[in-house]
Amino acid sequence: MAQQPSFDIVSQLDLQEIDNAVNQAKKELQNRFDFKGSKSSLEFLKEEKKIRIIADDDMKLRNLQDILKTRMASRKISQKALEFKTPEQAFEGCLRQEVTLVQGIPQEKAKEIVKIIKDLPVKVQASIQGDEIRVTSKSKDDLQAVIQNLRAAPLTIPVQFVNFR
């Protein structure tokens, strides 16, 4: 028996691209006039999958966030993958902010995505497999309709579609 057409919905990040984006943001930080003599910095903590932002004040923190978002966008990394925590006081009046990188599909989000798929007028089966979702169908057209609808859906996490067979 031939295998049914299927694809997987995943939420993965390319850590090398994130590292490159953070390094580009650091270079821009060194070259910008409004950050001369500032204690502001960006640091990518690869093991913890976090980015640490340190800024002198609230305005510089917002500027650093914008620089980071711009660099991530230029590297094709979704803004939804960045979860900004609340800023906290650090040394000498500086602000520190952790940015968590969202990777993998949490169980409640997976259930939400499966519900969206089941509400569509196509004959497909969606099953949650750990932190990814497998969608199968007899028709490749139905699978492509699911992909189009999920791209248009207002999801709060970045999703990619892989292993289309």
Q: What averages of pLDDT result for each successive group of 10 residues across the chain (165 residues)? A: 79 92 94 88 92 92 94 92 91 90 89 91 90 90 90 88 86
pLDDT, position 130 = 85
| CATH 3.30.70.990 residue spans of the chain | 15-101
The yes/no answer on whether domain 15-101 falls in CATH 3.30.70.990 is yes
Whether the pTM exceeds 0.95: the reply is: no
CATH number of the structural domain 6-12+104-162: 3.30.70.860
| CATH 3.30.70.860 residue spans of the chain | 6-12+104-162
DSSP result, the chain: -PPPPEEEEE----HHHHHHHHHHHHHHHHH-GGGTT---EEEEETTTTEEEEEESSHHHHHHHHHHHHHHHHHTT--GGGEEEPPPEE-GGG-EEEEEEEP-S--HHHHHHHHHHHHTSSS--EEEEETTEEEEE-S-HHHHHHHHHHHHHS--SS--EEE---
pLDDT, position 2 = 52
pLDDT, position 91 = 82
